[in-house]
A and B are shown apart, each in its own frame.
Chain A
Amino acid sequence: MFALRNTARRMIPEWTPGRITLAIVVVTLVAGLLPFVKMSLIVNGVFLGAIIALGAIGLTLIYGVLNFANIAHGDYMTMGAYVALFLLTGLFPTFGIEGEGLGPLTFGYPLLIALPLAAAVVAAGAILLDVAIYRRLRRRGVNAVVLAMASLGVAIALRGLVQVIWSGETQHYPREFRQVFRLPLDVRIPPDSIFIAIVAVVLVVGVYLVLTRTKMGKAMRATADNPNLALVSGIDTQRVIRWNWAIGAGLAATAGVLLAVFQAQLLPIMGWKFLIPLFAAVILGGIGNPYGALVGAFVIGVTSEVSTQWINPSYKPAVAFAIMIVMLLMRPRGIFGDSG
């Protein structure tokens, strides 16, 4: 987002022949296919993209500041979804906070409380994990890949924990059946999806404002740019890192809850499976660039959803992966990065 002005300026004068060809190919492809694509798939893809965006923005922020691939990001999503499940089915009912089917939505008002609480719990957990694990490794001055390795361990442990506590069975939030909205062109929108979109928009705008308007947000971008210069400028990089985890993991947890609503089910593996679209979006947008991650998320969401018109739907993750590989071949630094 904050890179928008910058990238826009950089992109306009640099219409190299390669880029023009690429743009023409993409535009013709999209325009040519559009009449054959079911509108409902595109709409569905946008909603999926919104969820991917929340996860991918957090992932790319962590990438930017801490400079490693947080393999556990998907499992932070899973954690968020299950913490909300605990609140909705375990804790809240003892206080009489219950109910489903709020207006046109399948879930009730308790989910509106559970969502921020789950995000806060996961954010706090992420900060604790940083103190217990990643900070020690950073102090030891290890290579970024070792940090990623440690996050793989965290990912496994978190998923194991979810299975120990909640079992590996499919679960779902308390819900009531609701009619979908029927629109022209055979588009059906579940009201839940509208809710998802609203939450996503609010959070994306919120992150944008934090990053561009607050001192801490600017310090996060500064640290991502140049950690050593941030240190000698007097920026409290430890605090930056804590905020970074809080925002990244909080967004992930929110994405997890929304995904559980979107798919109408929870599974311990849901977050791990989401890693491929998350990373695809981050890489598509250029690592460390939240604006890019946002665009990447919608590209991945819509393309993988639209692909189901021709390809077996269960190949969706493979489609996201294929887009990523094609992208890496053509523009390794992302849509907005320099090629080569």
Chain B
Amino acid sequence: MALLEASRVVAGYGGTEILHGVSVTVDNGEIVTVIGPNGCGKSTLMKAIVGLVKVRTGSVTFRDEDISSQPPERIVRRGLCYVPQSANVFPSLSIRENLEMGAFIRDDDYEGRIAEMFELFPDLAVRPNRKAGSLSGGQRQMLAVARALMLDPVLLLLDEPSAGLSPTMMSMVLERIVDINATGVAFLLVEQNAREALRMSHRGYVLSAGENRLNDAGQALLDNPEVARLYLGG
């Protein structure tokens, strides 16, 4: 059984349906990337999986349990953490406080985990009392990932972690993802920089207008001429 299995998920906002039955699976230790044109429902899929958007029909199974009607804080406890596309840090809290909030449900001592995060992202350790709102885009993105890692998740959902970053920052963030993946954390990514993301992914999905379009190994998608023409900019 896959680690995460979203099958035929239908979801949307108010009167509009955005996802018309999308299926995605992630296995233990995998990096899976979802690509697709703007507004096709990638973020909505992520929100549906973590419980921020209601799953109308279909199911989401995580570690053999149906989580499709659970509130976010229950899902988090099972080891599925999420970094939203925007507004993914608490701006008026310091770096350190952001990490503490990531560990909110931990009752044990998490100082060691904070130290690990500072090791993984040395930029954050320079001034840990700095307000997150004053960080640069790249630092913010790192803090957001670090916050989500505080709970030692089994699966991490990242919505466009490299959006708005300079090329060097972007490859730096993506490298970190590979590093973290090497420790056994599985990833479900949404990426605009599809080429770089697919290159490091085990598998990928192409969504279009709220429906599955393609589903293949990362490299195979890169080599697919249709994908190249439509989503990788030729």
- Decide: A234 and B90 in contact? CB cutoff 8 A: no
A225 cross-chain contacts in B, Cβ below 8 A: 90-93
A236 cross-chain contacts in B, Cβ below 8 A: 73, 104-105
Interface residue? B56 (CB, 8 A): no
Instruction: List 19 A–B pairs whose Cβ atoms lie within 8 Å, in order of A's numbering.
Output: A6-B131, A9-B134, A218-B100, A221-B93, A222-B90, A222-B101, A225-B91, A225-B92, A228-B52, A231-B52, A231-B71, A231-B72, A231-B73, A232-B52, A232-B84, A233-B148, A234-B73, A235-B73, A236-B104
B91 cross-chain contacts in A, Cβ below 8 A: 225-226
A232 cross-chain contacts in B, Cβ below 8 A: 50, 52, 72, 76, 81-82, 84
A188 to B134, CA, bound (A): 46
Interface residue? A219 (CB, 8 A): yes
- Decide: B101 and A230 in contact? CB cutoff 8 A: yes
Nearest-Cβ distance from residue A281 to partner chain B, whole angstroms: 19
The contact size tier of chain A is 20 to 34
A-B contact count (CB 8 A): 74
Q: Which residue of A lies closest to B76 (CB)?
A: A234
A182 cross-chain contacts in B, Cβ below 8 A: none
Interface residue? B88 (CB, 8 A): yes
A67 to B148, CA, bound (A): 25
- Decide: B104 and A234 in contact? CB cutoff 8 A: yes
- Decide: A234 and B77 in contact? CB cutoff 8 A: yes
A237 cross-chain contacts in B, Cβ below 8 A: 73
Q: Which 8 A-B pairs have the closest CB atoms?
A: A234-B76, A234-B105, A225-B90, A231-B72, A222-B90, A235-B104, A232-B72, A222-B101
Near B by CB (< 8 A), chain A positions 217-259 give: 218-219, 221-222, 224-226, 228-237
Nearest-Cβ distance from residue A72 to partner chain B, whole angstroms: 26
Q: Which residue of B lies closest to A288 (CB)?
A: B92
Nearest-Cβ distance from residue B140 to partner chain A, whole angstroms: 12
B131 cross-chain contacts in A, Cβ below 8 A: 6
Q: Which residue of B lies closest to A10 (CB)?
A: B134
Interface string of A6-22 (1 = CB under 8 A from B): 10010000000000000
A226 cross-chain contacts in B, Cβ below 8 A: 87, 90-91
- Count of chain B residues with Cβ under 8 Å from any Cβ of A? 30
Interface string of B66-86 (1 = CB under 8 A from A): 000001110011000110100
Near A by CB (< 8 A), chain B positions 35-90 give: 50, 52, 71-73, 76-77, 81-82, 84, 87-90
The one of B71, B88, B93 in contact with A218, judged by C-beta atoms closer than 8 angstroms, is B93
A233 cross-chain contacts in B, Cβ below 8 A: 76, 101-102, 104, 147-148
Interface residue? B211 (CB, 8 A): no
The one of B81, B98, B104 in contact with A215, judged by C-beta atoms closer than 8 angstroms, is B104
A224 to B50, CA, bound (A): 21
B76 cross-chain contacts in A, Cβ below 8 A: 232-234
Nearest-Cβ distance from residue B161 to partner chain A, whole angstroms: 15
- Decide: A221 and B90 in contact? CB cutoff 8 A: yes
Interface residue? B27 (CB, 8 A): no
- Decide: A229 and B92 in contact? CB cutoff 8 A: no
The one of A9, A222, A231 in contact with B93, judged by C-beta atoms closer than 8 angstroms, is A222
B101 cross-chain contacts in A, Cβ below 8 A: 218-219, 222, 230, 233, 235
B102 cross-chain contacts in A, Cβ below 8 A: 233
Q: Which residue of A lies closest to B14 (CB)?
A: A141
A219 to B104, CA, bound (A): 8
A222 to B151, CA, bound (A): 17
